[in-house]
Structure 1
Amino acid sequence: MRENIEPAIANRSVTVGRAYQAQYRTPPEDYARVLRAPAINAEPCLPPRGPAAGTGRVVSDGKGVRMLPPSLQGEILSRGDLVDLRVAEDETFTGSYVISRDGTLKLPYLDPIPAQGRAPAEVVTDIRDGLVASDFYVETPPVSLLLTDFAAVRVAVSGAVFEPGAKDIGAVAGAEADALRRVAFGASTEGRNLSVALRSAGGIRPDADLSAVEIRRAGAVWRVDLRDGFAGGAFDDVMLVAGDEIVVPSRQCFQDELMVPGPFSPPGITLFMSSLTVPATSNSQAAIGRDVREVQWGTRFMQAVVDNNCVGGIRATSANRAAALLSRNPATGVSVVIERDIEEMLDRPDRDDYDPYLLPGDAIACYDSTVTNVADLGRVLGTVAAVAAID
């Protein structure tokens, strides 16, 4: 093997599965009959904070489980939204308005009307009451309030996501809208949904607790159960408004079942890769990018090794290659380096137990076989000898 040429890469605290995922642990010499990695990963799991599985599409406000409240349903207004107000046969109040920075709708001669985080129908009720209370009308007039364009909103996402922080989501670009949409009444967007905010934050981590994702708005805290959505079922993709805070709690364990593409998972993984010298002498000739390559969420280490042209070739010279993975625990920030003998992994019937899932920002390096290393050493010595003979 390679021990006589260069030192082996040391694994860091992963021998018995204490790292972020049990698949990092060092393979034993004997083969296991039962795959143990998922069970090892599940051992430290905290119980879900949300309702019992199968309860349905519900949320909790800390006072028990209830159905989705009106403040989290349907179209919700946010500051910067463009609305079309029409009061029957009245040119004074009819017109286009933008929800102000303070979250209110300001109409001529009326006190500002709260609009942030409310449905248009709720605001319409206040407009009608305001027109009557200000003596503009004796009887309640017909009033229509339609959304014309959604503004971008800035929300904060924290917890078990890969890229926490403030995120700008939403906005319907007028330049991209077709002519019919620009003159039509009403507006719709999926760009301000909870799922968009989670993907904008790099997607959920494998330790995320989807049963109790928190939405904090105007002093209220709601916990939303998103498990059905990840499993392919229906879920309430809440529309967010400016200033919302999203917190994804952690179950303190790696959940193998979350390593599949879903509405909240990372859109993909950017890998940093270094290829072999043989059979390719450069990343370009190895058909990989100069620095990185994109792979699907849920890709395993050995799949990327194959993708990096580190497998195959002439057995006599290309066997006994090795590959190293540099990863970082997203929960603690501690890095880990593991090394796998490629041919051994291909032969192992329990390879999935020691074949880690890739995470965003992982790096892979491939090493040539001993035969290749010796051959390269021979070429170097031959070159040195030829130079010495010329001198």
Structure 2
Amino acid sequence: MPSILDRRIKGTPGGAVLHELYSNSAHFPLANIFLELLLRGPGEYLFALDLYFLVAAALIQAMLVGRWEMGGTTRPLLGNLIGPAVYSCAEFIAEGPEFLLHANHLAYWGFALSIGLLQWLQARSIRLRPPLLLLEHVIRTCIVLVMYVILEFSIDDYSGLAAFLNDAPHAFVAMVLPLLGLIVGLAHLNSARYLQTLRQTTEQLRQYSEWLFGKELLQMAVSDPQALSLARHERAMVFMDIRGFTAWSEMRAPEEVVELINAYYAACEPVWRDFQAIKVKLTADEVMLVFGSAQQAVDAALALRSATLPLLGRAGLTAGCGVHYGPVVEGLMGTEERRSYDLLGDSVNTAKRLCDAAGGSEILISQAVYQQIGGRPSGLQQRSLQVKGKQQPLTAYTLPFSPREQQPFA
């Protein structure tokens, strides 16, 4: 299901259908409806089946083409022929082949083919797209011109098109409508370029925002801007860092260190994504994850250990992990010009101290976490820790390796 951010940037299926209807599928049917109303009168035409055949054809085309576009599929030529095909099939069943003798019915096919072909060419040639788009808009305004000609020929007996254009009002309409189409096309071309630039910029900003906030937090902020305000929350925090990383780095080239760190982050990424971490903070060899529940944090810590053991083991390294649950103040912090989303409080410090006290490949959870998860799994080893910044010893529990976890390298 598309996220709220996807819906705002890319639109919704319903919006795509409406856009196709207003910008394309309804153009000829709307002109044809007014033509038939003037020729046959409202009393007859509003109760005729062909009116509703035409409306249904436009709606079916809009629904199919709109859904294709939302799915990333472009079928411009086929899509533009859906309306005429549906309308022609319905009219053939109702009236037989005589309906093809009407000029407006043939014009429907002609405009659909012309516009569909121009859109097909635009999709295949970026260089030719601007002139083809202008020509498309000229043809669209010619829908009104052609229907006007059909209306006049149906009312008055003209010997031909030359005789029709000898009338000054007719010549005026024939000259002005294509020029209006050209102007509308230029305006559309300008707005399309601006929209493309805006969408590209939006996608870039979205990517940067996800790097800074994470997907979950960004979605929360978009749906409710107050979600970033400073507030007190109960959070579960996971800290994990690599043991002996500084000494290991001293003996390696910077490129090798960066390669390991990036691989380390890549191994952790599926974990914070799958367990829907509220916040992710990466600092050198340290990973900090924030969750809404203690059970999420414990499960994530076990998954982190499993994910990173093989990678770190090949380098002769291990990682320790600490998990704590408690109150924090969370939200945007900083000045008017520069802010970041962070958490503060003794609970954060406690999680970090547990991480510092953990041995290689060891996960220590606090008494608060132990109580939150109901003492599961069983067989946890209890330890008493005297850590920096704490007057009283911390009670901690060591999470054992599960049968599925790869044991650490000796």
Relative contact order: is structure 1 or structure 2 higher (C-alpha 8 Å, sep ≥ 6)? Answer: 1
With normalisation by structure 2, the TM-score equals 0.22
Which of the two has higher C-alpha Rg?
Answer: 2
Q: Which has the higher helix share?
A: 2
With normalisation by structure 1, the TM-score equals 0.23
